[in-house]
Amino acid sequence: MQVIIFDDAQQVAVNAAEWVAELITKKKNPVLGLATGSTPISLYQQLVNKYKAGELSFKNTTSFNLDEYLGIDADNEQSYRHFMNQNLFNHVDINIDNTFLPTCNQGENPREQGLAYEEKIKQANGVDLQILGIGANGHIGFNEPTSSLASRTRIKTLTQQTLNDNSRLFNKDEFQPTLAMTMGIATILDARYVLLMATGESKAQAVKDMVAGPLSAMCPASALQMHENAIILLDKAAASKLEDQEYYHWANNQNIKVNEEFGLYHNY
């Protein structure tokens, strides 16, 4: 795990955008794994700015989102499809036919849909760079605590904590889904790189459990300890419960020099 601590959330977004930009400009047919939630919004703003400045094109990019609610249509404003269109896809030159979310519409079988999503990722030659947020309960995607570390794309019941955390986004009389389709933890671990962004004090305990805690299904993000190329971008508040912060700063400076001299592990 490469843990990088920034002064504030804006710097986290700027750095995350650099990772994405590097992939997209270097690789012919890049495959991005995308996330929803409050945290990646500023990353998407950075990417839109880079596109508008002519620095970046998404023309040849394929994307796979982590998750999508069940029981609401794609055109519902609460759907993650709507979120992605609003925050990224509508503002850049990505081919919308190459943007995928793990949907399960009414009448469809979630088991079959999960398998089909896995197959679609395989056909695209896998995810190069997966963007992740982290829940206050340590979830990644909608892999809630106790999710199998070997899980694949499937239907999940959301925990009460996740429902409470996300209720801020729903009006009182609005239907809030309690089920979702989500990439599994094994699906996420298949990505060549994972880039997890966490900002704010409310994520500090989950970040500590992910980085320094035991590998445990009780903190699904701790599975990233098993990933060869996991980059963890934190602001000071999200990093506040980590011991050894000096070491992370020092190791990061060393890594920059090593990467400059020898390149990254995978050249995507």
Rule CB under 6 A: which residues touch ligand PGA? 37-39, 133-135
**Active-site hit among 68, 118, 128, 144:** 144
**Active-site hit among 67, 68, 118, 165:** 67
Based on the residue annotation, tell me whether 60 is a catalytic residue of this protein. no
**Active-site hit among 87, 118, 128, 137:** 137
DSSP characters over the chain: -EEEEESSHHHHHHHHHHHHHHHHHH-SS-EEEE--SSTTHHHHHHHHHHHHTTS---TT-EEEESEEESSS-TTSTTSHHHHHHHHTGGGS---GGGEE-----TTS-HHHHHHHHHHHHHHTT--SEEEE---TTS-BTTB-TT--TT--SEEEEPPHHHHHHHGGGS-TTS---SEEEE--HHHHHTSSEEEEEE-SGGGHHHHHHHHHS--BTTBGGGGGGG-TTEEEEEETTTTTT-S-HHHHHHHHHHHHHHHHHH--S---
Q: Which is nearer to ligand PGA, 38 or 57 (CB)?
A: 38
CB of 120: closest distance to ligand PGA in angstroms? 22
Q: Which is nearer to ligand PGA, 94 or 158 (CB)?
A: 158
CB of 233: closest distance to ligand PGA in angstroms? 13
CB of 43: closest distance to ligand PGA in angstroms? 10
CB of 244: closest distance to ligand PGA in angstroms? 25
When CB distances to ligand PGA are compared, the closest residue is 37
Beta-carbon neighbour count of residue 70 at 10 Å?
A: 20
Q: Which is nearer to ligand PGA, 37 or 145 (CB)?
A: 37
Give me the phi and psi of 167, to 5 degrees please. Answer: -65, -20
Based on the residue annotation, tell me whether 144 is a catalytic residue of this protein. yes
CB of 131: closest distance to ligand PGA in angstroms? 10
**Active-site hit among 65, 118, 128, 139:** 139
Residues annotated as part of the active site: 67, 137, 139, 144
